[in-house]
Amino acid sequence: MTGKVEYYFKHNDGTQIQGIGLGTFASTEGDCERAVLHAIDVGYRHIDTAYFYGNEAEVGVAVRKKIAEGVIKREDIFITTKLWCNFHEPERVEYACRKTLENIGLDYVDLYLIHWPFSYKYRGDNELIPKDANGEVELVDIDYLDTWGAMEKLVDLGLTKSIGVSNFNEEQLTRLLANCKIKPIHNQIEVHPALDQKKLIALCKKNGILVTAFSPLGRHNAQLRTPSFMYDGKVQTIADKYNKSIAQVLIRYVMELGTIPLPKSSNPKRIEENFNVFDFKLTAEDHAILDSYHNGERVAHARQAIKSKYYPFNVYSACF
């Protein structure tokens, strides 16, 4: 089977999204543009970026090139980006979104997320993690509900078709659902065998919120041979059974947990490989093996914000 598979989910606001996306974190200096160009040719119609990643412009260049070539129309491609933590003051939200649209070079994005529930002091557009004289990150107390109210206005203005959140735990998501006019369509969270997020995924599903899963392969370190599930013979046996790679098995696992995986790569072969995961299904026994690696270990800790009352990982159930 080729990678060009139509596999879509419908959001609670009626919009649709492809069941896998290209992650672009830490992809810059031309790599991101090349990755997006190739991904679109392969069949990806869902691209994830963020203001913090510093590559919105590269994503936009690639998308506009493929539109100009006639490979896609604007309505064919779903672009997600994110509001960074230094723009959480309600009066800065529209400004930040318009700056993002200027970066991407499009009239609207499909989905705009609050990147994290905590906030940083604003010290200019490009000072993304502001620090005081002692080297401490400068946090400010801005309620994410106030930020969300400003996010809702972006939909009315047509700057984004939909809005959602990222890295929100169960308590934060429940509180938001009880106090919003526009319901979030997504919660983007870290998901992989070491952090399966089953409880949070179930809460999202119950409330009609789709989950996008970043870091579905964990954080790879060949020297340390971590994460363990990337190097375990039991996982290799599963991969061999389906004539797939370990990465493909992990992406499929995250998908079968009920999420939309966002594997990141700038390698053309891996971009294609990561997309080719629709032609097999894991068994209950496969899931039991992969479930066994769950220990709550995270790739993205954001410990610099641990003193914020909105830091999302102080809640035990958010980890397990």
Give the residue numbers annotated as catalytic, written as ranges.
Answer: 53
pLDDT of residue 314: 78
Per-residue confidence band for 320, with pLDDT thresholds at 50, 70 and 90: very low
pLDDT of residue 27: 76
pLDDT of residue 226: 83
* Mean per-residue pLDDT over the chain, rounded: 94
DSSP 111: E
Best CA proximity match to 188, nearest among 41, 31, 4, 52: 52
162 backbone dihedrals φ, ψ, rounded to 5° = -145, 165
- Domain ranges in the chain are 15-305
Per-residue confidence band for 221, with pLDDT thresholds at 50, 70 and 90: confident
Task: Summarize the confidence of residues 200-210 as an average pLDDT.
Answer: 97
Tens of pLDDT, residue by residue over 114-170, are: 999 999 999 999 999 999 999 999 999 999 999 999 999 999 999 999 999 999 999
192 is in an annotated binding site: no
Are 105 and 57 spatial neighbours (Cβ–Cβ below 8 Å)? yes
* CA distance linking residue 269 with residue 38, whole number of Å: 10
Tens of pLDDT, residue by residue over 289-315, are: 999 999 999 999 999 999 999 999 975
Angle made by CA atoms 266, 267, 268, in degrees to the nearest 5: 110
Are 166 and 116 spatial neighbours (Cβ–Cβ below 8 Å)? yes
Are 275 and 43 spatial neighbours (Cβ–Cβ below 8 Å)? yes
Sign of CA dihedral 31, 37, 41, 43: positive
Which residues, in sequence order, are bridge partners of residue 16? Answer: 10
CATH architecture of 15-305: Alpha-Beta Barrel (3.20)
* CA distance linking residue 312 with residue 200, whole number of Å: 12
Here the tokens at position 293 are 């690696």
Tens of pLDDT, residue by residue over 70-115, are: 999 999 999 999 999 999 999 999 999 999 999 999 999 999 999 9
pLDDT of residue 2: 40
pTM exceeding 0.85: yes
Task: Summarize the confidence of residues 173-199 as an average pLDDT.
Answer: 97
Three-state secondary structure string covering 187-225: EEEECECCECCHHHHHHHHHCCCEEEEECCCCCCECCCC
pLDDT of residue 174: 98
pLDDT of residue 315: 53
pLDDT of residue 1: 34
pLDDT for 5 beyond 80: no
Q: Which segment of 3-7, 141-145, 244-248 scores lowest on mean pLDDT?
A: 3-7
Per-residue confidence band for 316, with pLDDT thresholds at 50, 70 and 90: very low
Q: Which residue has the higher pLDDT, 121 or 2?
A: 121
pLDDT of residue 24: 95
Q: CB count, 10 Å around CB of 197?
A: 25
Residues with Cβ within 8 Å of residue 227, at least 6 apart in sequence = 192, 193, 194, 218, 219, 220, 293, 297
pLDDT of residue 220: 79
116 alpha-carbon distance from chain centroid: 11
